[in-house]
Amino acid sequence: MPSRRTVLAAATLLPLAGGARPASAALKTAPKTAPKTAQDYYDRAAKLAGDDSVLKALVKALSPGLQMPAVQPVKPFKIFDDVAVVGTTFVQATALLTSKGVVLIDAMGSPDDAKKIIVPGLRDVGVNPAHIKYVVAAHGHDDHFGGAQYLADTYGARVMMHKADWDLIAAERPEHAPKRDLEISDGQKLTLGDTTIVFHHTPGHTPGTVSPIFPVRWKGRRHTAILWGGTNPPATTEAKRTNLTSVREAAVTMRRAGVDVELNNHGGADYGLTRIEQLRAGATKNPFIIGPARTQRFMKVMETMLRGRILQDQ
């Protein structure tokens, strides 16, 4: 296989041979050197992020040795006309408010979290928790499914997870694991009332991580959101490579779907916690609507950081 540098050099020469672009333009777009070390990739990601607070937070979240924030309550808030966030500074649950009930993405860490944070949190923003129809665990870690069975038992909600992560928790038998219920497959749609959610299988963080794409409204205008299901790079190199493939494929899916809103279930990873506070303080422009180009750059930063993490494993 030719080295990356050889490929880049050949690509740089192509426009010259065709005469379609002036040499200076072609040279400007080619990186001077291919990254050789993990740090080269981290530096490249930081450069891509520039002074963009969302992207800078992502670089930090994907850097080795991440420290999780201290757990503090987050005051519930409706970040869109039809999306509410409840949770703590560590992890959040996202409620999609449809005309026929609520789809809750993630359920925090325990039945107690559901009872003391999710249920009163939804009531705080005027949402009846009895209207939760589906609880989607974006992946099979306990900070995302812990309150699911409580919501199923209390309100009759159905619990959804990708097959691979139902299998994962069947094997690992973690505390607060929900009873096996509905399986999510790649590309599957869930329609509730006026809202259709498309689940994309984005394995890596866990084998069954899903990242849903769904419509949201802000001041009546429609936008398209993705909620990235699992951000922290997994331990093994093999899983990191799977994660990298998911990121690259999802970027293409997101471009096609016109995704212009980026959400995360760990709001410390993408400046989400600060963006909630900006909205609460009365921001007129919704900081979660970052537009298609910045959404793509977000994925490019994630890709670049993962390449660094994979190289650092060697």
Q: Is 141 in the site for Zn ion (CB under 5 A)?
A: yes
What 3-state DSSP class applies to 288? coil
Q: Which is nearer to Zn ion, 141 or 201 (CB)?
A: 141
Maximum Cα interatomic distance, the chain, rounded to a whole number of Å: 68
Q: Taking CB under 5 A as the rule, does residue 162 contact Zn ion?
A: no
Which residue stretch of 143-151, 194-202, 252-260, 294-302 sits at the interface with Zn ion (rule: CB under 5 A)?
143-151
Distance in Å, CB of 230 to Zn ion, minimum: 5
Q: In terms of CB distance, is 78 or 139 closer to Zn ion?
A: 139
Q: Closest approach of Cβ 205 to Zn ion, in Å?
A: 6
- Residue 273 C-beta: closest distance to Zn ion, Å: 14
Alpha-carbon separation of residue 226 from 94, 155, 210, 260, 311 (angstroms): 12, 26, 10, 8, 28
Instruction: Give the three-state DSSP class for 255.
Output: helix
Dist CA 259 CA 264 (whole Å) = 14
Q: What is the nearest approach in angstroms of Zn ion to the Cβ of residue 102?
A: 21
- Give the amino acid at 107: A
Nearest residue (CB) to Zn ion, 107 versus 225: 107
In the complex, what is the shortest distance from the CB of residue 177 to Zn ion, in angstroms, rounded to a whole number?
A: 14
CB closer to Zn ion out of 149 and 264: 264
Strand, coil or helix: 284: coil
CB 244 within 8 A of CB 203: no
**In terms of CB distance, is 156 or 174 closer to Zn ion?**
174
Between CA 297 and CA 238 the distance in angstroms is 24
Q: Comparing C-alpha atoms, which of 102, 68, 99 is closest to residue 86?
A: 102
- Candidate ranges 40-48, 52-60, 136-144, 273-281; the one touching Zn ion (CB under 5 A): 136-144
Q: Which residue's beta carbon is nearest to the bound Zn ion? A: 141
Contact segment (CB under 5 A) with Zn ion among 82-90, 142-150, 284-292, 304-312 equals 142-150
With contacts defined by CB under 5 A, name the span among 78-86, 137-145, 180-188, 193-201 that binds Zn ion: 137-145
Closest CB 268 distance from Zn ion, rounded Å: 10
Taking the least distance from each CB to Zn ion, the nearer of 143 and 262 is: 143
Contact window for Zn ion (CB under 5 A) among 135-143, 159-167, 213-221, 272-280? 135-143
Cβ count near 150 (within 10 Å) = 23
Interacting residues of 191 by C-beta distance below 8 A, sequence separation 6+: 197
> How many CB atoms neighbour CB 156 within 10 A?
10
Binding mask 84-123 for Zn ion (x = CB under 5 A): ----------------------------------------
Of residues 65 and 220, the one with the C-beta less far from Zn ion: 65
- The answer to the question of residue 143 lying near Zn ion (CB under 5 A) is yes
3-state secondary structure of 134: strand
- Where does residue 188 rank: exposed (0-12), middle (13-18), buried (19+ CB within 10 A)? middle
Q: Which range in 58-66, 134-142, 216-224, 277-285 contacts Zn ion by CB under 5 A? A: 134-142
Of the pair 141, 300, the CB lying nearest Zn ion is at 141
The site for Zn ion, by CB under 5 A, has a size of 2
Query: Per-residue DSSP letters for 151-205?
Result: HHHHH--EEEEEHHHHHHHHHH--TTPPPP-EEE-TT-EEEETTEEEEEEE--SS
Residues contributing to the site for Zn ion (CB under 5 A): 141, 143
